Structure formats: C-alpha cells, structure tokens
Amino acid sequence: MPVLAEALRHVGHVTIRNRGTIGGSLAHADPAAELPVALLALDGKVVVQGSAGTRAIGAGDLFVGPMTTALEPTEILTSVRIPRPDAGTGASIVELARRHGDFAIVIAMALVHLDGNGRCDMVRIALGGVEGAPARMEAAESGLLGAEPSGAAIEAAADAVAAGVDPIGDIHASESYRRDMTRVFVKRALAQAVERAKGGVA
C-alpha cells in the first residue's frame, strides 16, 4: 500500500513523524490529520481493549467529532487492521496546507477499482480537514459506482462532495474557500486514483 507512505509524507515534519505513532494519531482524531482519512479510505478498523474486554471499531464508527473517537475512557487502542485492497486498485491522497507540514485545509483520498469494461466496481472517497471529523463521501461514491470514470464523471463526483460538506472556516481558509478546495482536491485524488487503477499501480 504505497499510498500509506504518500499519506505520511504530509504528516508534520521529520521529527514529528519519528516520534508519532499510527495508533496514536488515529486515537487522537485530529480532524485535519492524514491517518484517520487513510483508515477511512482503506476501510480499516482498530482493535481496542478495556476492562470489559476487546472489541473492534470500524473506521466509519471511530471518528465522531473533533478530537473525539468512539473509544470509552477505559479503553486503549491496541492494533490497527487494514485489509489489502484488491489487485489493480488505484489509490491517491492529496492535500492542501498553507505550508508543508501544517494541518490540512483539505485532505482528499480516493481508492478506485475498475472492472473488465473500465467501469468503477469499487470507489471510496474520504475527506479530512473540511469538517469537524473526517468522513467517507458515500453519496459521491455511489454516483461513480458502475460508471466509466471520465473527466466529466469525476467532476460531477467532486461537485457532489463539495455541495454536500459543511466546511469549517478559519483565517487560512474561509468556509467557501474550503468548499472550493474540496471540489478541486477530490477531483485530483479521483483523477490520480483512476489513472493508477488503469496503470495497475496502487
């Protein structure tokens, strides 16, 4: 999964990456962090352990708000499980930040698999930095499913994601700029993922 390495390049700086951990970043659940977006797009899960025992939490149920996860106060995250994508899956993660290593204004990650006719038989889009928690963009995913991922289809999916988000605004990116950049970066992630799916490069 080379896309994981691509995701990690956007995380802070070398010293931060040396010190930080994958599980720690997921449990921290910063809405502008890369790893939660990657866990969502890769459809992974985490295993947590507490006084009541061990349980698994799927990525979609893990991130409930800014810096907030579904972990109970008595639980700790003990492992991360990421299923290997099917052969031929194309993946991409792209990010906009003011400076390299700053928290993201937008992180968009896409996974695409094409069937024998060049139509999408698997699409996953995950978004971070835009709302209070990272999330899968399921409506836009189902719009592409079964379709040929043409430029127009990708644009339509990106428009759908941008129209559906409720962006936060700050001094680096207003709500409307974040919405605009959501469209641009979802489009770029999808285009690159499709390109890689066609070339057989994950």
Site residues for other proteins per CB under 8 A: 96, 98-103, 171-174, 177, 180-181, 184
Where b means 16+ CB within 10 Å and e means fewer, 86-102 reads: eebbbbbbbbbbeeeee
Q: What is the nearest approach in angstroms of other proteins to the Cβ of residue 98?
A: 5
DSSP symbols for 49-69: EETTEEEEEEHHHHEEETTEE
Indicate the residue among 131 and 180 with the shorter CB distance to other proteins: 180
Distance CA(12)–CA(124), nearest Å, equals 25
Indicate the residue among 32 and 126 with the shorter CB distance to other proteins: 32
Indicate the residue among 52 and 171 with the shorter CB distance to other proteins: 171
- CB of 193 closer than 8 Å to CB of 112: yes
Q: What is the nearest approach in angstroms of other proteins to the Cβ of residue 103?
A: 8
Closest CA to 96 of 1, 3, 194, 186: 186
Indicate the residue among 55 and 172 with the shorter CB distance to other proteins: 172
Indicate the residue among 63 and 103 with the shorter CB distance to other proteins: 103
Q: What is the nearest approach in angstroms of other proteins to the Cβ of residue 126?
A: 20
Distance CA(31)–CA(130), nearest Å, equals 8
- Pairing between β-strand 45-50 and β-strand 63-65 as defined by DSSP bridges: unpaired
- CB of 112 closer than 8 Å to CB of 95: no
Q: What is the nearest approach in angstroms of other proteins to the Cβ of residue 11?
A: 13
Q: What is the nearest approach in angstroms of other proteins to the Cβ of residue 127?
A: 16
The most distant pair of C-alpha atoms in the chain lies apart, rounded to whole Å, by 52
